[in-house]
Amino acid sequence: MANPLVPTLSGPNQLSMSTLLANPTRLNGMIAKLAAQQLVCDAFFRPAGTAVTGGQLLYDVLVNGGNFASRDVELRAPGAEYIITSGDAIRDQAVPKDWGAKVQILDEERTRLDPTVLANRLIQLANSISRKIDQLAIAAVDAALSKYSIVGVPGHDWSSLVTVGPLDDITPNADRPTADISNASLLARVEDTGIAEPDTIVLHPGQLQSLRQGYGSELPNVLAGVGIQNVRTSLQVPNGTAYVVTAGAAGVMGFEATPYGQTSGQNGLATEVIPDRERRSIWIQSYAVPVFATVVPGAIRKITGLAGA
């Protein structure tokens, strides 16, 4: 597969590294695309509708017991008014923080090095950005689970799963990964916050390997049997841990408008190409100012202890 940072277009559309570096908008799109291919934060958070302003994001938290109005709806008689009802809201706030990095490319490198060498630096930059965003997202999830006392699931050692062999050696149903996942889904469902049944699991690659080894080609059907349609892996998830969630239902992810003074266009990742003629070089600077609001922490259930002792 051709490197997307050095497209191989024919005819008048031929794009060189120099042309790419001269077009920060296209460069930003490519770095963002590379980063997005690895992100798992969207399993927890959906995009906020607008840019974050005012230095913080205020939001209401929906938890069990506070997800219904204080008075139930009542039957209305002809000519009468409907009852007045209300509910208590838990308000929280999230503060955006600025994360980014830059890489230097010398004139001599642009002249003498193969374009893929320069492209690798941009790939490294994109990888670092995606890793940091996922780290922040998972940290926000864990903080909300702790703050609002969302009960998790003590799981079993998935690496010891046995599904084929003598009956005495096969792992009992109650000790299998499917039991851990279904228990997590049940806890999320009985939270009764109006969120659909969990359909996504986010886990360390080691746990996916255990599932594949234990269930083989039957794995998709096995997971579907406990409601899981999407499997997402990330090295930012601690080994031995998994999160069961309804995709995008737990909260919102927003970004402060960047660069400064921008009034239109896409908020999120920003990339700037900064000439440094004193050193005969350019700097490629990418940054984002994300914020994560866990609006429905009960939509997430954390399973631990999956890697054994």
124-168 pLDDT, tens per residue?
888 888 899 999 999 999 999 999 999 999 999 999 998 888 888
Contact 252, 48 (CB under 8 A): yes
Parallel, antiparallel or unpaired: strands 153-154 and 300-304: parallel
**pLDDT: which is higher, 36 or 275:** 275
The pLDDT value given to residue 297 = 93
Contact 300, 250 (CB under 8 A): yes
pLDDT digits 0-9 by tens, 257-300: 776 666 555 578 888 889 999 999 999 888 888 999 999 999 99
| CATH code given to domain 16-67+89-304 | 3.90.1690.10
Tokens of 46: 């959906």
Q: Tokens representing 226?
A: 């406990």
Mean pLDDT of 216-243: 95
- Calculate ∠ Cα 283-286-292, nearest 5°: 165
Percent of the chain with pLDDT over 70: 88
Beta bridge partners of 288: 99
Give residue 13's pLDDT band: very low, low, confident or very high (50, 70, 90).
Answer: very low
pTM: 0.85
Per-residue confidence (pLDDT) for residue 261, from 0 to 100:
62
Q: Per-residue pLDDT averaged across 33-62, rounded?
A: 84
**Average pLDDT, stretch 26-34?**
80
Cα 301 to Cα 309: distance, rounded to the nearest angstrom: 21
186: β partners: none
Distance between CA 98 and CA 85 in Å, rounded?
Answer: 41
* 283-258-296 Cα angle (round to 5): 125
Delimit the domains of the chain by residue range: 16-67+89-304
Neighbours of 219 (CB within 10 A): 17
Helix runs in 164-257, H state only: 177-190, 205-215, 219-225
pLDDT in tens, 159-201: 999 888 888 888 889 999 999 999 999 999 888 788 889 999 9
User: What does the pLDDT look like over 94-131, one tens digit per residue?
Assistant: 888 888 898 898 988 888 877 777 778 888 888 888 89
The radius of gyration computed from the CA coordinates of the chain, to the nearest angstrom, equals 24
